[in-house]
Amino acid sequence: MTNPLLQTWHTPHGMPPFDDIKTEHFLPAFEQAFAAHRVEITLITTSDIEPNFNNTVAAMERSGRLLEQISAVFFSLTSTDTNDTLQAIETEIMPRYSAHFSAIYTEQALYQRVNAVYSDRSGLDDDQMKLVEDLYRGFVRSGAALGDEQRHRVQSIDEQLASLNTAFSQNILGDTNDFELLLSEGEVAGLPDMVKQAGADAAAAKSQSGYLFTISRSSITPFLQFAERRDLREKIYNAYTHCGNNNNENNNAEVLTSITDLRLERATIMGYASHAHFLLDERMAQHPDRVTELLDEIWQPAIARAKQEADDLQQCIRDDGGNFTLAPWDWWYYTEKICKVRFDLDEETIKPYFKLEQVRDGAFNVAEELYGIRFTVTDTPVYHPDVTAYEVAERDGTLIGVFLTDYHMRASKRGGAWMTGFREQSNMDEAIYPIVVNCCNFPKSDPCLLGMDEVRTLFHEFGHALHGLLSRVRYPGQSGTSVKQDFVELPSQIMEHWAIEPEVLRRYARHYETGEIIPDALIEKLLAADTFNQGFATTEYLAACYLDMAWHGVLEEDRTIESIETTAMNDIGLIHAIGPRYNSTNFQHIFASSSYSAGYYAYIWAEVLDADGFEAFKEAGIFDQQTAASFRTNILEKGGTEDPMDLYRRFRGRDPEVSPLLKNRGL
C-alpha cells in the first residue's frame, strides 16, 4: 500500500494531500519516521570528526524532517477534525513520541558533542550562538546531565505526562460534546434573533428541532448575556465549570493530580523547588516571585473595580425586581442590561456590523497597510471544507507564505482558538516559506456575526499568524513563534489594538445587510464602553493565573482539587460572584500540555509589552511606516534568534512600563 505521508507531495505549495491521507496511514508513517530520525541521530553521534556547529548542531536542525512533516498533519487533525480512531492513535502515539525525543535529548554521546560545541562557541554568528545555547539548555533540562537512574526516571515521567496530557484534552472534548442544552421556543425568552438563529442552526446540524446551546465559549457567552431564565443560565454555567469533573469516563480529577505530582517530581530531580521554578527558569519572568509581583500589582486595582461592578449589578437586580444575591451566572446578563442603559449599547446593536468575512478582511487590510503584504485566495488541498487558503506575498509579488483560516466550531474540533502550521520558515539550506493556520470556534451560521470578544479573538490569532508568516530566520528551530512562552503573546495581543481603532473600524465594520459603515456615534459608544466591566474581565483572568501558580508551586502533600482551588481563591480575596476563567478540571492551557503550565500569566506579562508597544504606534500614527518597519524587523522577523527583551528594547528604545496596561483596562 502506498502511504501518501511518506511520499513527496507534488501539490500546490507542498500542502499535505489530505484527500489521499487515511487514518490507517499514520501509525506506519510514524514508525518509519521514528526509525529514519534515529538513523540521522546515530550518524551524528558516531561521527569520527571532532564536534563542531555544522556536524552537530546544524545536523540536528536538519534531522527529523519526515517526522516533523507527519506530526504536523497528525496533530492538526487531532485538534481540528478528530474521531474515535484518531484519538485511539493519539493515545498510543503520544508516549512513544515523548520517549523518542526524550531518548534523543538524553543520549550521552550526543550530549557530549553538543556540550563540546557549547564549550567553544567562538566564531559563531549571533543566531548560531543562540541556537547552541538553547540546544545545550534543552539537553540539560531534559536530564542529559543527570546520573543514569535519575535520567531514566525523567524519561519515564515525560512519557507518562504525554499520555496524561492527551487524556486530559480528550476528556474535555468528550464532556463538551456530551452536554447539550436543547430548548423550545418558550425557553429562549430574551435571546436576540441572531442568538436564537445560531441555536437553531446548531440544532439542525444535529438533526434536532429547537435551539441547541453548548459550553463552547461562542455558544455559552451570548446565552449567559441574554437568557431571561435564571435557572437555565445556572445550568449551562455549571456545566461549563464542571467540564471534566462529572464523575464519568471523562473525569479529569485523577488525571490532573497525576500530572502535577509528576511535574513536581521531575522538577525536584532537576534541582528546582517546584514545577513553576523549573519552567520559569526558561522564561522572561525567570522566577515565581516575579510573576506574583506582577499579578499582585494588577490584582489590587482590579478587585477594587470588580467589587464596584458587583455592587452595581446587585442594584440592577433589585431594580429589576429580584431578591436574590448576585451569582456568577448572573454577571453577564445584568452587565448587558447596565451596558444597554449606560452606553445605549448591546450585542444585538453591534453584531450586524461585524460579519466574519468583513472582520477577516479588516485584519488583512491592517497587515497590508502596516507591512505591505497581500492575501489572495489560492486553490490548494485543505483538511476540511470550512478551511480557506491564501497566498501571502510582498508588494513586489514575492511569495512569503500560505495562510489557512479555520474559523467555525464543530464537534470534531477542540474548543478555543489557536495558531498552528504545517511548515516553518527557514533559510538554512534553501528558502522555505511557512504554512500557517488560524483556528477559532465561531458559530457556523449564515451570516456569522461576531461579538466584540470574537472580533478581538480573530485579530489576536491573526497576530500569531503574522509572527509565523513574517519570520526571517536561518534555522527552523528559531522560526516565528519559537520564542520564550511569555513573549509569544506580544505579536498577537498588540494586533488586537487595531481591531477597535476608529480609523480601522470605518474600513471593515459595515452592516451586513445595508453595507452602511459603522456610525461614528456607535464607535464612540464602543470606545466609551471599552473599559466597562474590566474589573470582572481582569479578575477572572488573574484568578486563573493564581490557580495555575497554586498548582505548580510548592504543594502540600495532602491536597485535593477543592482545597487547592478554595485556598488559592481565598488567598487573593476573589468575590463569590466571580469565578476563575477556568476551573482545574477544564484548564486546558495548563494541563493538556506543558506550554502554559506555570505560564498562564504570559498573557498579562505580554500585555504589559503590547500596551506599551502600541503607545509607539499611537505616538507616531497607527499606520506609521517607520514604526511598523521597526516592529516587523525587530520583533516579527527575528523569531527566537535573540533574547526577547533585547528585541523589545530595540523596537521601543527602552524597557516596557506597566502604566499603559492599567490605563487601557481603566484600572
322-362: pLDDT as tens digits: 999 999 999 999 999 999 999 988 888 899 999 999 999 99
351-377: pLDDT as tens digits: 999 999 999 999 999 999 999 999 999
Quote the cell numbers at residue 113: 558533542
**In a domain? residue 358:** yes
Torsion angle of C-alpha atoms 358, 608, 538, 590, degrees rounded to 10: 90
- Whether 107 sits among the annotated catalytic residues: the reply is no
Given a cut of 80, is residue 555 above it in pLDDT? no
Distance CA 611, CA 493 (A): 8
Q: How many CA atoms lie within 13 A of 497 on its CB side?
A: 22
143-170: pLDDT as tens digits: 999 999 999 999 999 999 999 999 999 9
**In a domain? residue 63:** yes
Helix (H, G, I), strand (E, B) or coil at 601: coil
Question: Same domain, yes or no, for 340 and 356?
Answer: no
Q: Rounded to the nearest 10 degrees, what angle do helices 534-552 and 602-620 cross at?
A: 140
Look at residue 485 in the predicted model and tell me its pLDDT. 87
Last residue of a domain, one of 141, 166, 201: 141
Quote the cell numbers at residue 574: 476573589
Distance CA 329, CA 215 (A): 13
- Give the count of domains, the chain: 4
Question: Same domain, yes or no, for 292 and 229?
Answer: no
Q: Which amino acid would we find at residue 498?
A: W
Given a cut of 90, is residue 664 above it in pLDDT? no
Distance CA 441, CA 436 (A): 17
Longest alpha-carbon distance in the chain: 84
Distance CA 184, CA 229 (A): 12
Quote the cell numbers at residue 428: 538554512
Last residue of a domain, one of 466, 481, 496: 481
**Are the C-beta atoms of 309 and 331 separated by less than 8 Å?**
no
Question: Same domain, yes or no, for 395 and 319?
Answer: no
Q: Rounded to the nearest 10 degrees, what angle do helices 602-620 and 489-499 cross at?
A: 50
Of 389, 530, 380, nearest in space to 455 by CA? 530
Q: What secondary structure letter does DSSP report for 517?
A: B
Question: Same domain, yes or no, for 330 and 380?
Answer: no
Question: Same domain, yes or no, for 132 and 205?
Answer: no
Look at residue 147 in the predicted model and tell me its pLDDT. 95
**In a domain? residue 364:** yes
**In a domain? residue 494:** no
| Mean pLDDT across the chain | 95
Question: Same domain, yes or no, for 361 and 330?
Answer: no
Look at residue 639 in the predicted model and tell me its pLDDT. 97
Q: Which amino acid would we find at residue 520?
A: D
Given a cut of 90, is residue 136 above it in pLDDT? yes
Given a cut of 90, is residue 565 above it in pLDDT? yes
Question: CATH code at 50?
Answer: 1.20.1050.40
Look at residue 415 in the predicted model and tell me its pLDDT. 87
486-518: pLDDT as tens digits: 899 999 999 999 999 999 999 999 999 999 999
The catalytic position among 40, 309, 424, 461 is 461
61-107: pLDDT as tens digits: 999 999 999 999 999 999 999 999 999 999 999 999 999 999 999 99
**In a domain? residue 515:** no
**In a domain? residue 635:** no
**Are the C-beta atoms of 155 and 106 separated by less than 8 Å?**
yes
Percent of the chain having pLDDT more than 90? Answer: 91
Residues 6+ apart with CB under 8 A from 430: none
Distance CA 587, CA 32 (A): 35
Q: What is the domain extent for residue 556?
A: 253-345+534-600
Question: Same domain, yes or no, for 373 and 328?
Answer: no
Last residue of a domain, one of 465, 481, 497: 481
Question: Same domain, yes or no, for 118 and 10?
Answer: yes
Question: Same domain, yes or no, for 574 and 542?
Answer: yes
Question: Same domain, yes or no, for 60 and 86?
Answer: yes
Query: Three-state SS string across 331-350, please?
Result: HHHHHHHHHHHHHCCCHHHH
Residues 6+ apart with CB under 8 A from 104: 37, 41, 110
**In a domain? residue 149:** no
Question: Same domain, yes or no, for 259 and 210?
Answer: no
Distance CA 219, CA 592 (A): 22
Distances (CA, A) of 432 to 169, 186, 425, 427, 525: 32, 57, 5, 6, 46
168-191: pLDDT as tens digits: 999 999 999 999 999 999 999 999
Torsion angle of C-alpha atoms 145, 146, 151, 154, degrees rounded to 10: -90
- pLDDT range class, residue 309, cuts 50, 70, 90: very high
Question: CATH code at 472?
Answer: 3.40.390.10
Distances (CA, A) of 248 to 174, 216, 242, 435, 582: 10, 20, 11, 39, 19
Distance of CA 512 to the CA centre of its chain: 29
Question: Same domain, yes or no, for 361 and 457?
Answer: yes
State yes or no: cis peptide before 12, omega within 30 of 0: no
**In a domain? residue 169:** no
